Structure 1
Amino acid sequence: MTMPISVFKVAALLFFVPFTLFSSSLGGDTLTPTQHLTDNGDILISAASSFALGFFSPNSSANRYIGIWYHNISLQTIVWVANRQHPIAGSSGRLSITTNGTLVIADNSTVIWSTFSAAFANPIARLLDNGNFVVVEANDNSNNFAWESFNFPTDTLLPGMKIGWNLTSGTNHNLTAWLGDDDPSPGGYVTGVDFRGDPQIFIWSGTRQYWRGGPWNGLRFSGIPQMKLDMVGCDFVVDSDAVFWSYYIRDFSLLQRVVATSSGHFEHQVWIGKRKSWEAVGFVPRDECDTISPCGPNGICYPTREPMCTCMQGFRPENTKSWDLSDWTDGCVRKTELDCHNRTDFGFFTQSNMKLPDTSRSTVDWSMSLENCRALCSANCSCTAYASANTSGSGSGCIVWTTELTDVKLYDSGIGQDLYIKLAASDLNSEEPDHSHQRRLVIIILVLVATIFLVACGACSIWIWKKRGRSNADEENDQVQDMDLPFYDLSTIVNATDDFSSDNKLGQGGFGPVYKGKLEDGIEIAVKRLSKTSEQGMEEFKNEALLIAKLQHRNLVRLLGCCIQGGERMLVYEYMPNGSLDAFLFGDETKSVLLDWPTRYNIITGISRGLLYLHQDSRLRIIHRDLKASNVLLDKDMNPKISDFGMARIFGGEDSEDNTRRVVGTYGYMSPEYAMHGIFSVKSDVFSLGVLILEIVTGKRNRGAYYYALNINMIEHVWNLWKEGKVLELIDASIGLIFPTAEVMSCIKIGLLCVQDRASDRPTMSSVVKMLGNDTSLLPEPLQPGFVISSSSSAVDSSSSKKESSYYNTATTALKG
């Protein structure tokens, strides 16, 4: 990985001192340890003169950068920049390769950019004819690269480069646009691959999805039908190790590239020599229908029609009034609900020429036939549609959707795909909604609404009066009828838990006891039973049920259903055989030794990806507000799953911050701005994650776990040792003596970045996920943490904290301000 180094270390200086003794005479495409490339006209040129590497200034800027550009065209076109975030102000820069294979850019005596070292005896750096700058062993003509610029793309994708994910290392390669024509620093638009479900290509604007390219169909991305397949060929690889896309040139008479522009476009460009310019032969987004889901769930966008949105066959507008005012964001709902148990009561409507719906939460089987795919969707009550995964040749593969169909676009020509939508039999042959007729009915509807209003008010008054006579249990039952969850009979739960036997009790939290159970079909469950003395009530119960029912991620616990009957309120979850993380971290040594470093690192990355989903990738932006070790559950393979959403809050639109007079959560994990002022945001969860990362590395609890000799808490102790360069002394002894030091140090540094005092200084979850796996020297330096619990507050903490459950905990602290 390549990042700036803020402090020039003595060891690095020793590498550079000998370099000044040699001349900087450079020849051809190679840089050796006895040379350095200076900013006085030195360049490397690839063997066939295709590319050049050297210092440059973009347009009118005076800043200097190391970059790669096309050598054989008249317009200097930069395809890669090394120090894009750390320019050099003058002409004092130089590029060198050390004897241990480290590439370094220095400004006088200050290192501003470097790579990791290579395990080569005689390393050199070479610029290849495909534009790749590599570190290799001298006289080795193989592709055994210790480092290559192709692994760190900037804004340009050259033939042979890849964007996507290395799932083994967790490394993500994407394109980040320049900030402007004269500033190559990272801008606001990022193009990359989302590997969830059936993988897709996306453009993000900041953290917001800006454009979706759809899934790969064997020939092209579903949302890029205009790809010039006569000019380029594509490879899209999806396996257990990697998900990536690359392309190669078919027409070698043309110079071609793919670039992410600062205006938010993803362009396929061709060099036109007569015009001395790059011309876009294909680009996205192209029209209003290329924005993310402009017609809402189950709506179809027609870019060449007016109005541009209509409902799918068998669906009607969710909000007719808004729809007629051209506000389509609420989307469409079914005219007739499916009775999937009656095979004669539903069928499939074929919608042709489609950009397939968002596949982030779909499932895909590349080997299944389309006939078997139809049978699979028919047998699955949750299935809403299916399509072929591969349209090349005779077609094959199966994509199944079990959620609403979003971000769907219709093409006029026959370049889209067929989508098979599951509908009630009565809706298979119904006419498409006629919006002109709907508009003519608006006036009539408004008059009827005015007439009905008085009658409705009277009816509501009578209904409310009658409702007052109902029991509290009946009221609660009515409140949860809108939950999209299976309901279990009380008798089913009683039988599953052996009448809530003490032998089946897994733990106790603020919510109440948690029991293990087994349903009649053999499925193991965990049942959270709200006790009558619980601090949590119906609001938290319903909040957790509604939130988790709408969330699907491998690192979030799965809610199976609920039970509200006979005064009981219970949530039924998938059973996690290894219980909660705190039992391993802070329990007896026999459990902590099971947490070797690879397991701990997997837990850290899993929790981080779960939080990223909550903050950015789910339909709802969710702040958890009570992330802690006891709310992280471990499955049979020790994979982490975030649980307990009773205190979570939903953020809408562009909201990023809120405040409350009722602070809920657990001391030791609360961010300073939340604990003291009730202000919470996604950065509050980031703070909690930082505490959790440091707890996982050290095996020490922050809440109430003080270092009495120093009168400080765990975070402050880590911070002090970090400044002294002794932080490795704190690593949990259960990890053992052998561990990847760089990876552990990176996690500690990320933990400290997450617990910085100012919320604005903390990274976003997308940044955290990217940083995981980076060498610690390549990450930004953390600022002082927000300790929250100082020495003066220890008594407050001890008196207000509660005993935490070891399983599905909901113990919280509530402060009234």
Structure 2
Amino acid sequence: MRGTFFLFCFTTLFPTLSVSIDTLTSSQSLPTNQTLLSLNAIFELGFFSYSNSLYLGIWYKTSIKDNDPTVVWVANRDTPLQNSIGFLKIGDKGNLVIINQSQKPIWSSNETNGSNPILQLLDSGNLVLKEANENDPTKFLWQSFDYPTDTLLPGMKLGWDLDTGMEKHITSWRLTNQDPSSGDFSFKLDYRGLPEIFLYNKDQIIYRSGPWNGERFSGVPEMQPVTDSIKFTFFADQHQVYYTFSIGNSSLLSRLSVSSNGELQRLTWIQSTQIWNKFWYAPKDQCDSYRECGPYGVCDANASPVCNCISGFHPKNQQAWNLRDGSDGCVRNTKLACESDGFLHMMNLKLPETTSVFVNRSMGLVECRDLCIRNCSCTAYANIEITNGGSGCVMWFGELLDVRRYPSGGQDFYVRLAASDLDDIGVEGGSHKTSNTVKDVGIIVGVAAFILLAFGIFILWKKRKLQCLLKGKTEKRGFPERSQDLLMNERVFSSNREQSDESNLNDLELPLFDFNTITMATNNFSEENKLGQGGFGIVYKGRLMEGQNIAVKRLSKNSGQGVEEFKTEVKLIVKLQHRNLVRLLGCSIQMDEKMLVYEYMENRSLDAILFDKAKKSSLVWQRRFNIICGIARGLLYLHQDSRFRIIHRDLKASNILLDRDMNPKISDFGMARIFGTDQTEANTMRVVGTYGYMSPEYAMDGIFSVKSDVFSFGVLVLEIISGKKNRGFYYANKELNLLGHAWKLWTEGNALELIDSSIDNSYSPSEVHRCVQIGLLCVQERAEDRPTMSSVVLMLSSDTASMSQPKNPGFCLGRNPMETDSSSGKQEESCTVNQVTVTMLDAR
């Protein structure tokens, strides 16, 4: 209902139209006192008024009651006409234009390339621009269905065109019956992971639909098709992801809308009573509120209290929990032990949030479980679709959020628990309930297991006997025995086993991608998808069938990163979980191909922006400072807070990736090393890394420690401040590189002169000065003089933290004659570290 509706009658010089006409030509215009009517008089287009402002809109002609039309689309919702004089016409550029009394356009649609366009209002409620001689009913130059307002009509799509980046969502009116301008509430589809739709209040999520399970959205068990009337559809491929619905009964009117008070409504028109009936709405109860019970909490509207922890978990904040506040969620009773863990089967659930999950539509539930149990980071799994007995695999790797239990109609869900917690829970989720039937089943299973074990031992004995026989014959013929440690003891890694000559990576606990899947995602590794290239291979952008964007690191066949480095990178990243570390989604080894699949970073690497004259101005000081702090937090996690103490050994600007919001993420762990908890340093016979970021003790003696990474971090800090590379930057007749230049400015009391000239004057001088000092403290020549990353994070976060004066940095003097890029493979370079010369082999 949209309140009082006015039509204005006045004389105009522009051509007028009969109400019965559904088409407007380029030589005609539609004044404020005229309308277009669809062919079967279902929808009407015209101007309507609220608060002395005029809007062009579409409303139901067939459901008008008491001169109160139901408006379903508004063209100029945020730019109304301020008086009763105006008109709609087709512009010179093939677009729609609303002209005011002064003959000035106040609203227009996108320009088209139409040569003779006409405007037509269809019975579907779609307002379309098309060529006058176009007979194909689906070919339009422009259509209103691409630009919904607060209402989704049958045939409208809510979602994304991934090829063009166009999003279609609905947004509430500012005030019901008074103001059709854009309100605070919107219903939007997120295509990442396993797509689902969110209801927002401004930028805050207030309700989640749950993912599509083949029949309905997981969080809408009431979403049952009305027999022969309403059919719900969800579609996803690499080109588009959308939700829509259709009406099978022509006499039924139904629409989905977002009200100005934030309610998502499915409305149907009741002809007998001449009213819109609220067929369904959300949020409708406490459990529809987003994340009502926090991480690992389950909301049940039929329970009291509504929040309960998943079995095997207990409230994180018991006091708040007792007061019926479950927002802090739950924590595990017992720490997971990986391979000995099991899974708790839960039923009738709304699946947890799925924007950051692993998805494989070709897997079954058994394969999904096997993959999840091998990956120690996997916290739960489920089928993607419930139709035909269930199909597809979705796995969660972090906290389980916004879980809800229904009396019926939800989905099966499997949560990872420690074996001891599963024993405590028993069959029904409480204590053990042993019965004679259970005992009988146990005996049968035990006997069957014994028989299978004996049979397996016999087969293994026969196999080994045959292998020994074949081995003897092979050696007699002069063929060498194949190496047993080619790649983790000759177990097949790829899902396409018969084509793979690589060995087992099961202990990497990571989703495995088929080579063909990655080939399709990257458009056969096309040049258009190429993101960058280093000494170890090329990185491509890809898009999985589910619509998720990925970055694929395809290692060069003659790359310096061999099997060991590949294994190291996979093993490390899969066990690391931090917001400032890049997330590894999976990997693949098939034939002679080694590939890593990462989350896609929209802004690519730091060096691509920081050292680009055209782009660096986007890095304002606050953004640079946030990047410095994010890198510091990520490095602190590696050195101190992760499950292992990890030395990165190749920290540099190109290995810092930036997400959509310019948050930094440390990447490329191919050269990383794991330290014991009591280990402080180690030696290597093979110095690897990047010239310009190496600490003196590492470059000269092969000694690396957490302080080696601190040195690299210090170089990064000074590069971020100055916008200049340490390697390749020389000052005063090529005598000083960036570290030397920064040190010179510091000793002269001119540290602020180091700041990038592209940064405006909005920076804080004290903050910049503090960062320069921290950078110089980190690049001091002696490792013992450098701070730890915990001290660095403290110094960055506090204006009052005490800091010592930096000593001489360990920096190179003079230009290296071999100007090669990092990661350039095996070369021989010479550099001077405070007058000491060292030769480095295998420089990256």
TM-score range, shorter chain: 0.5 to 0.7
The residue matched to 2:287 in structure 1 has which SS?
Answer: helix
1:73 aligns with 2:50: no
CA contact (8 A) 2:607 2:654 kept: no
1:64 is paired with a residue of what secondary structure? strand
Q: Is the 8 A contact 1:55 1:66 kept in 2?
A: yes
The answer for the alignment partner of 1:253 in structure 2 is 251
**Distance verdict in 2 for CA 1:577–1:238, change over 3 Å:** closer
Q: Secondary structure at the match of 2:321?
A: helix
Matches of residues 379-778 of structure 1 in structure 2 within 5 Å?
A: 379-412=374-407, 414-431=408-425, 520-523=564-567, 549-551=577-579, 557-558=582-583, 583-584=607-608, 642-643=663-664
Shift of 1:363: 1.5
AA of the residue aligned to 1:643: P
Q: 1:639 to 1:90 in 2, by over 3 A?
A: closer
* In 2: Cα distance, 1:580 partner to 1:202 partner: 27
Quick one: which of 79, 100, 111 aligns to 1:107? 100
Seen in structure 2, the aligned counterparts of structure 1 residues 149 and 588 have a Cα distance that, compared at 3 Å, is closer
Note the C-alpha offset of 1:104.
0.5
Contact 2:158-2:244 at 8 Å conserved across structures:
yes
Q: Distance in 2 between matches of 1:208 and 1:319?
A: 24
Structure 2 residue identity aligned to 1:352: M
Q: What is the CA–CA distance in structure 2 between the aligned matches of 1:263 and 1:388, rounded to whole Å?
A: 35
Q: Does 1:24 align with 2:16?
A: yes
Q: Which residue of 1 aligns with 2:238?
A: 240
What corresponds to 1:739 in structure 2? none
Task: State which of 29, 35, 48 in structure 2 corresponds to 1:43.
Answer: 35
Which of 189, 195, 201 in structure 2 is aligned with 1:199? Answer: 195
Equivalent residue, structure 2, for 1:451:
none
- Letter of the 1:332 counterpart: C
Matches of 1:430 and 1:189, distance apart in 2: 45
Query: Which amino acid in 2 is paired with 1:377?
Result: C
Match status 1:361 vs 2:356: yes
State the Cα distance separating 1:525 from its structure 2 match.
5.8
Residues 161-183 of structure 1 show CA distances to partners (whole Å, capped at 9, x for unaligned) of 01111222222211101111111
Which letter maps to 1:134?
V
SS across alignment from 1:140:
coil
Q: Number of paired residues? A: 525
1:116 maps to amino acid: N
Matched, 1:209 2:168: no
Could you tell me which of 36, 52, 57 is aligned with 2:44?
Answer: 52
CA-CA distance at 1:327 after TM superposition? 2.1
TM-score scaled by length of structure 1? 0.56
TM-score scaled by structure 2?
Answer: 0.55
Q: Residues of 2 paired with 1:302 and 1:586: CA distance?
A: 50
Alpha-carbon distance in structure 2 between the residues aligned to 1:796 and 1:375:
53
Shift of 1:815: 11
Q: Which residue of structure 2 aligns with residue 83 of structure 1? A: 76
Following the alignment from structure 2 to structure 1, what is the Cα–Cα distance between the partners of residues 425 and 392?
31
Distance 1:289 1:373 in 2: 29
Deviation at 1:800, TM superposition (A): 9.1
Change (3 A) 1:575 1:275: closer
Among candidates 295, 298, 303, match of residue 296 of structure 2: 298
Q: Secondary structure at the match of 2:342?
A: strand
Residues 50, 801 of structure 1: CA spacing in aligned structure 2 closer, same or farther, 3 A cutoff? farther
Provide closer, same or farther for how the CA distance between residues 278 and 787 of structure 1 changes in structure 2, counting only shifts above 3 A: farther
Specify the SS of the correspondent of 1:191: strand
Q: 1:158 to 1:579 in 2, by over 3 A?
A: closer
**Distance change >3 Å, CA 341–CA 80, structure 1 → 2:** same
Compared CA separation, residues 398 and 815, structure 1 to 2 (3 A): closer
SS at match of 1:192: strand
Distance 1:641 1:90, change over 3 A: closer
User: Cα distance, 1:312 vs. partner?
Assistant: 1.0
1:347 to 342, 345, 348: 342
Q: Given that residues 153 and 256 in structure 2 are in contact (C-alpha distance below 8 angstroms), is that contact kept between their aligned partners in structure 1? A: yes
Given the superposition, is the C-alpha separation of residues 169 and 668 from structure 1 closer, same or farther in structure 2, using an over 3 Å criterion? farther
Q: Could you say which residue in structure 2 is the equivalent of 1:225?
A: 221
Q: 3-state SS of the aligned residue for 1:427?
A: helix
Deviations 1:497-539 (A, max 9, x none): xxxxxx99xxxxxxxxxxx98883525769x9xxxxxxxxxxx
Contact residue 668 and residue 788 of structure 1 kept, 8 A = no
Gaps of 5+ in 2: 1-11, 431-507, 509-534, 537-559, 586-596, 631-651, 668-716, 724-752, 779-788, 801-844
Query: For residues 74 and 602 of structure 2, what CA distance do their matches in structure 1 show?
Result: 47
Q: In percent, how many aligned pairs have the same letter?
A: 37
Corresponding residue of 2:314: 316
In 1: Cα distance, 2:375 partner to 2:283 partner = 35
* In 1, Cα distance between equivalents of 2:602 and 2:64: 64
Query: What's the CA shift for 1:295?
Result: 1.3
CA distance in 2, matches of 1:550, 1:631: 19
Change (3 A) 1:664 1:111: farther
Structure 1 window deviating more from structure 2 (365-374 vs 65-74): it is 365-374
Structure 1, unaligned stretches of length 5 or more?
1-19, 437-485, 487-502, 505-515, 529-544, 561-572, 615-629, 647-662, 670-701, 707-713, 716-785
8 Å CA contact retained: 1:203, 1:209: yes
Instruction: Tell me the alpha carbon deviations over residues 645-667 of structure 1, each in whole angstroms, 9 at most, x when there is no partner.
Output: 99xxxxxxxxxxxxxxxx99966
User: What is the CA-CA distance between 1:147 and the residue it aligns to?
Assistant: 1.0
Partners in 2 of 1:208 and 1:125 — Cα distance? 38
2:370 counterpart SS class: helix
Using the TM superposition, give the Cα deviation of residue 134 of structure 1 relative to its aligned residue in structure 2, in angstroms. Answer: 0.9
1:668–1:236 Cα change, 3 Å: farther
> Offset at 1:586?
7.2
In angstroms, what is the RMSD of aligned CA positions? 5.0
- Displacement of 1:227 in angstroms is 1.5
Q: 1:360/1:98 Cα in 2 relative to 1: closer, same or farther (>3 Å)?
A: same
CA-CA distance at 1:191 after TM superposition: 0.3
1:189 aligns with 2:185: yes
Aligned mate of 1:134, from 113, 128, 137: 128
Q: Which amino acid aligns with 2:392?
A: G
Q: Once the 2 structures are TM-superposed, how far is the Cα of residue 154 of structure 1 from its aligned partner?
A: 0.4
Residues 668 and 318 (structure 1 numbering): CA distance in 2 closer, same or farther, change over 3 Å?
same
Task: After superposition, give the CA deviation of every residue in 1:698-740 in whole Å (9 maximum; x if it has no partner).
Answer: xxxx99666xxxxxxx58xxxxxxxxxxxxxxxxxxxxxxxxx
Task: Tell me the residue number matched to 1:677.
Answer: none
Distance 1:333 1:577, change over 3 A: closer
Return the offset for 1:797.
Answer: 13
Whether the aligned pair in 1 keeps the contact of 2:603 and 2:659 (CA below 8 Å) is no
Secondary structure of 2:353's match?
Answer: coil
Counterpart contact for 1:557–1:641, Cα < 8 Å: no
Mark the structure with the bigger radius of gyration.
2
Q: How far apart, CA to CA, are the structure 2 residues paired with 1:328 and 1:139?
A: 62
1:62 aligns with 2:58: no
TM-superposed CA distance for 1:574, in Å, is: 9.0
Aligned 8 A contact 1:557 1:642 in 2: no
Q: Aligned partners of 1:218 and 1:796: how far apart in 2?
A: 57
Letter in 2 for 1:249: I
Deviations 1:126-160 (A, max 9, x none): 11110111110002121221111101100000001
Pick closer, same or farther for the CA change 1:184–1:575 going to 2, 3 Å. Answer: closer
Q: What is the CA–CA distance in structure 1 between the aligned matches of 2:327 and 2:72, rounded to whole Å?
A: 39
User: What SS does structure 2 have at the residue aligned with 1:211?
Assistant: strand
